[in-house]
Structure 1
Amino acid sequence: MPTVEVADLKDDDFLLDVREDDEWRAGHAEGALHIPLSEFVARYGEFTEAAPQDGRVHVICRSGGRSAQVAMYLVQQGIDAVNVDGGMQVWAAEGRPVVDAKGEPGIVL
């Protein structure tokens, strides 16, 4: 499974967050697309509309397990996708901004 370190992500990289709604509301990376793993297949069309046509998709969850599943699925669909190693836990630990559903400072559940 292709992976990328949080430190290697750029501000304009496309980020797909596959955590559940309660996790997202508590805190997420601003600008990320949110489609929970449990809804991903049903909402795949929403993903394809938002995803870059010729760019890489960086898939993130809390620690990397769920995002690895989605990244693997996307790669099987012919999409350039990578799993973000360590997920939102590493994102927050490295001081990257985390916002809640209201745009205020958030936390990673």
Structure 2
Amino acid sequence: MQEITPAEVEALDGPVILDVREPHELEQARIEGAIHIPLGELVARVDELPRDTTVYTLCHVGGRSAQATVYLESIGVDAVNISGGILEWYRQGLPVELGSTP
């Protein structure tokens, strides 16, 4: 499984970020433009993801997104886990939206 740091993802031009956290977690912090599919719904909703580009997976600290990455790789999606999740993203001072979802 490949991993990438939050800063490396943020430096990319238009990365596709898949957030696999639960809806209530998005109320605390989220990344603008990320695709939200909770891990428990990923198998049923995988067709919502692009197949022609790398998908960068994210959760709270990296465990669930690692599971998502392994699954996506197993079905042929180029997927990379964002190490440390949104917690590390926030710690590195990268942009997040805080508060309730729009």
Work out whether the TM-score is over 0.5.
yes
Q: Where does the alignment leave 5 or more consecutive residues of structure 1 unmatched?
A: 103-109
Match of 1:26 in 2: 28
Aligned counterparts, 1:70-109, within 5 A: 70-99=68-97, 100=99, 101-102=101-102
Counterpart amino acid of residue 86 in structure 2: M
**Superposed CA RMSD:** 1.2
TM-score (norm 1): 0.83
Q: State the identity as a percent.
A: 44
Match of 1:106 in 2: none
Match of 1:5 in 2: 5
Match of 1:65 in 2: 63
The more displaced of 37-46 and 85-94 is 37-46
Equivalenced residue count is 98
Q: 1:7: Cα distance to partner?
A: 1.3
TM-score (norm 2): 0.89
SS at match of 1:82: strand
Q: Where does the alignment leave 5 or more consecutive residues of structure 2 unmatched?
A: none
C-alpha offsets along residues 12-40 of structure 1, whole Å, 9 cap, x if unaligned? 11100000000012211000000001111
